[in-house]
Structure 1
Amino acid sequence: MSTPKNITKLGTMFKGVLSKEVLEKFKKSFFDDEKNLLAQNVCTKQDPFESAQSRKIVENTLHVFNTKIESEGKPLTNQKSSGRCWLFAALNVIRLPVIKKFNLEDFEFSQGYLFYWDKIERCNFFLNNIVETTKRGEPVDGRLVSFLLYDPTCDGGQWDMIVNLINKHGLMPKKNFPESYSCEASARMNQVLKSKLREYAKAIRDLIQKGGSDGDVQSLIQEQMNNIYRIVGICLGIPNETFTWNYYDKNKEFHSIGPITPKDFYEQHVKPLFNVDDKVCLVTDPRLTNSYGKAYTVDCLGNMVGGRRCIYNNQPVELLLELTSKSIKEGEAVWFGCEVSKRIAAKLGIQDLAVHDFPLLFGVDIQITMTKGDRLLYGESAMTHAMVFTAVHLDEKGEVEKLRVENSWGEERGEKGYLLMTADWFKEFTFEVVVDKKYVSEEVLNVFQQEPIVLPAWDPMGTLAS
């Protein structure tokens, strides 16, 4: 959009001060364009993003796809007021072969079960990170420790964290460990945990700086974790060590599995259908400083002491789209991470770069005015949400035009909870996908054998999906 004539020379007199004269010029420029008055009338009465929605894009968007997985999972899940999308998305993928194998009408794994263990493991991981950073000589008011203390435990996560939880603690059906208030609305529980973790961080740093031994430090952490265990158990409940799963199949026949431990349930009944160790997570980070074909990790990022690190195998976004399409063609849904809030008509479930016409409304565009790499650098973009691809629509050349997305926000938004994403949106705002390693070339798989380059804890690639 061209600059209004009456402020073209404003820069020569501006000098950084918003003087009365400068503000008068801004005001005159605003009221000289009657379109601004119309836009003001509209936006002062309703959501500006709704006002910028393109009717043309809405009319031309059809939730129809020519390549889908065999069947989608039921019921449509809802993470409610929690940041558990990464867990919901993973369990929504894993349940598909389970539903088929056991001939079920619908099924959910317990998201609360993994959430419980993530809280326990994550708090312990944080306290041990405080030990590590203290021994490194990191000051409490330095950038690293300040970053860790800002959010000692959150709900969000990454794929490798899911693998840690499932391999150590297994899985159980939702009926055997249902939701609690703090599963669905985690803010209060997190507030309690964060307060204690900051208090405990000070105690750990004080002990180390006074010359406490490693044994003394670990004894202190054990005492602290006893309190954390109590808090989490009070808020979420404590899962039983064994359970019995009773269920009816589609033919109304009764079945029973158990008593069985969650670990054995995964190993015996789920792993043969979906082995988390056979899945690989590929990311796309187009910043010039981070080369494709390299492995990266993020300092102090994880959820389990002794667990696997979060490893980022950096590849071009075109490869991520290609492997997503290949997986869908073979009938396998795909876990992925993206920045969900950009260029989305949430009520209609449309993720399209043209779904909002911001230049028409505001006279300027937003969100896609920088490259994907620059958006990462300048804090305008990061991977914030995880969902599941269940279908793609291919053109005559076999190229992906759009994708179907299973979300975890309930059925109220989108097409009964499902979103539609264009391929162009995928390229701009998708950051990672998880596919079976059998679809990935040996050259790409070999990147996981590299010693990863360590990015700082505050790097945007360490943002956790919530």
Structure 2
Amino acid sequence: MIQKNLRNINMFKAILTKDHLEKFKKYFLSDEKNLLAQNVCSKIDPFEVALSRKRIEETQHIYNSKIEAEAKPVTNQKNSGRCWLFAALNVIRLPVIKHFNLEDFEFSQGYLFFWDKIERCNYFLNNIVETAKRNEPVDGRLVSFLLYDPTCDGGQWDMIVNLINKHGLMPKKNFPESYSCEASARMNQVLKSKLREYAKAIRDLIQKGGSDGDVQKLVEEQMINIYRIVAICLGIPHDTFTWNYYDKNKFFHSIGPITPKEFYENHIKPLFNVDDKVCLVTDPRSTNQYGKAYTVDCLGNVVGGRRCIYNNQPVELLLELTAKSIKEGEAVWFGCEVSKRCASKIGIQDIKIHDFPLVFGVDIQTTMSKGDRLLYGESAMTHAMVFTAVHADETNEVQKLRVENSWGDDRGEKGYLLMTSEWFKEFTFEVVVDKKFVSEEVLDVFKQEPIVLPAWDPMGTLAC
């Protein structure tokens, strides 16, 4: 029927003729600046060419409100998509370093990564069961979307809460990095191959009328193999550990033997309770109202855990609460679209840092509204980092923010970026602050039954 209808429509076809191509070439060659730009960009990264020298000279990594002390060492997620875990653990370690009087400290990112892989694969298989019972076709948009990327490294704040509340935390010394922690592509390739294979087996069993018990047994058998793959690549965390450390005064201390969950509950939770933190997002699309709660279909990492809830608020409120938190001495986890208008080598996120019209004759990335960029696939959250300082003018309006990244100390100012408030408004999508900073009116949004967005909605994009 569709093909028949298409034959009856006068299709618009803008065919490029030889005359068109000659016209385009003539316009290009008529401006010598194009030839200069071509010469330069044939040897140098076009985005480096577009960097504004004037903007760089005007930028200073100086702030008038900063958390008491930033943590050491600067972390590095390397060739993995674990920024959301790194950013969370970078925030949590700050009060830990202060309380235990430490020179430096890192939680084990590999520990949470291990449990996220196990839980995430199980979550995927459960999604396959659920969508099969919904009679979703395997080539339909939902199942096709799930099969496209059965497991990835990225995540959201509520996923962090799930992992910590269920599995606790561990110092990095007690579960160090492995090759596949730092370069996860090969492990993920193995897992994705098996998960797609297992998805077919599950759907075949359900289609043949298998009972819930049969399906549960099959998933358990599949998870035995998944656990083996992850354990081979990442190692297996010990059930208990002992944390030995020296404080700044070189005194020896020891905690343990203790389970990771006990370590979090008894020693970390009193300093940083993940359940006291709330995640606020900003989605300016006209279809999604502020003051409403949203969730995304099939998004999560722990079966039986909390859902990813989006409390949608204006971006100005997110900026206000970020500044308030930092002025009270608390760093802020946040998610953004990191690559847009970002000079990562020198560590500047500023919508004026690139002069694209000067190089290409056209502007990019900010020519549509934030809402339209979400609608047209031009924008989505891609990365999580930490705010540690803000700078406000004499009217108390925020001008810029200091950002702790997880790309090592050879980018930016020894691992830190500078973000302007204009950039924040354009490319930041969520922040996590303590609920004590948030009004009751905004907190009440979490009591709503969330509106369910489709699995492929851009607000379901995971920070990596």
Same fold (TM over 0.5): yes
State the AA in 1 paired with 2:190.
V
- Of 12, 15, 18, 1:17 maps to 15
Q: Does 1:391 align with 2:363?
A: no
- Distance change >3 Å, CA 20–CA 282, structure 1 → 2: same
Structure 2 partner of 1:306? 304
1:334 aligns with 2:332: yes
Shift of 1:254: 0.3
Q: Which amino acid in 2 is paired with 1:458?
A: W
Task: For 1:110-125, list aligned pairs within 5 A.
Answer: 110-125=108-123
In structure 2, C-alpha distance between the alignment counterparts of 1:220 and 1:73, rounded to whole Å: 45
Q: Give the structure 2 partner of residue 126 of structure 1.
A: 124
After TM superposition, the structure 1 = structure 2 runs for residues 414-433 of structure 1, keeping only pairs within 5 Å, are 414-433=412-431
Separation in structure 2 between the aligned mates of residue 164 and residue 64 of structure 1, nearest angstrom = 36
- Choose which of 95, 111, 116 in structure 2 pairs with 1:97: 95
Residue 317 of structure 2, aligned match among 319, 328, 338 = 319
CA distance in 2, matches of 1:68, 1:145: 46
Displacement over 4 Å in runs of 4+: none
Shift of 1:184: 0.0
The residue correspondences of 1:404-415 to structure 2 (distance < 5 A) are: 404-415=402-413
User: Are residues 1:62 and 2:93 paired?
Assistant: no
Distance 1:68 1:279 in 2: 20
In 2, Cα distance between the equivalents of 1:193 and 1:77? Answer: 26
Helix, strand or coil for the counterpart of 2:386? strand
Match for residue 245 of structure 2?
A: 247
TM-score by length of 1: 0.97
Q: Does 1:456 align with 2:451?
A: no
Hey, what does 1:347 align to over in structure 2? Answer: 345
* Secondary structure, aligned partner of 2:16: coil
Shift of 1:24: 0.2
| Deviation by residue 1:380-433 (Cα, 9 ceiling, x = unmatched) | 000000000000001001110000000000011100000000000000000000
Q: Show structure 2 runs of 5+ residues with no match.
A: 1-11
CA distance in 1, matches of 2:264, 2:182: 24
Report the 3-state secondary structure (helix = DSSP H, G, I; strand = E; otherwise coil) of the residue aligned with 2:463: coil
Deviations 1:121-179 (A, max 9, x none): 00000000000000000000000000000000000000000000000000000000000
Deviation, structure 1 residue 15: 5.8
2:182 aligned partner: 184
Residue in 1 that maps onto 2:219: 221
- Could you say which residue in structure 1 is the equivalent of 2:285? 287
Number of residue pairs matched by the alignment: 453
Q: CA deviation at 1:108?
A: 0.1
- How far apart are 1:114 and its partner, in Å? 0.1
The corresponding residue for 1:86 is 84
Name which of 152, 155, 173 aligns with 1:154: 152
Question: Counterpart of 1:416 in 2: which secondary structure?
Answer: coil
Distance 1:85 1:73 in 2: 16
**How far apart, CA to CA, are the structure 2 residues paired with 1:391 and 1:129?**
40
Letter in 2 for 1:335: W
2:104 & 2:53 partners in 1: Cα distance?
A: 36
AA of the residue aligned to 1:79:
Q
Aligned-partner SS, 1:303: coil
Q: CA deviation at 1:78?
A: 0.1
Matched, 1:196 2:201: no
Q: Does 1:175 align with 2:180?
A: no
Tell me the SS of whatever aligns to 2:280.
strand
Match of 2:374 in 1: 376
Shift of 1:17: 1.1
**Unpaired segments of 5 or more residues in structure 1?**
1-13
**SS at 1:454 equivalent:** strand
**CA offset digits 1:186-239 (Å, max 9, x no partner):** 000000000000000000000000000001000000000000000000000000
Letter in 2 for 1:23: L
What is the alpha-carbon distance in structure 1 between the residues aligned to residue 102 and residue 442 of structure 2?
36
- Confirm or deny that 1:356 pairs with 2:368: no
**Distance across 2 between alignment mates of 1:133 and 1:412:** 45
Q: Which amino acid aligns with 1:239?
A: P
Cα separation, 2, equivalents of 1:412 and 1:142: 45
| Distance in 1 separating the partners of 2:39 and 2:246 | 56
SS at match of 1:393: strand
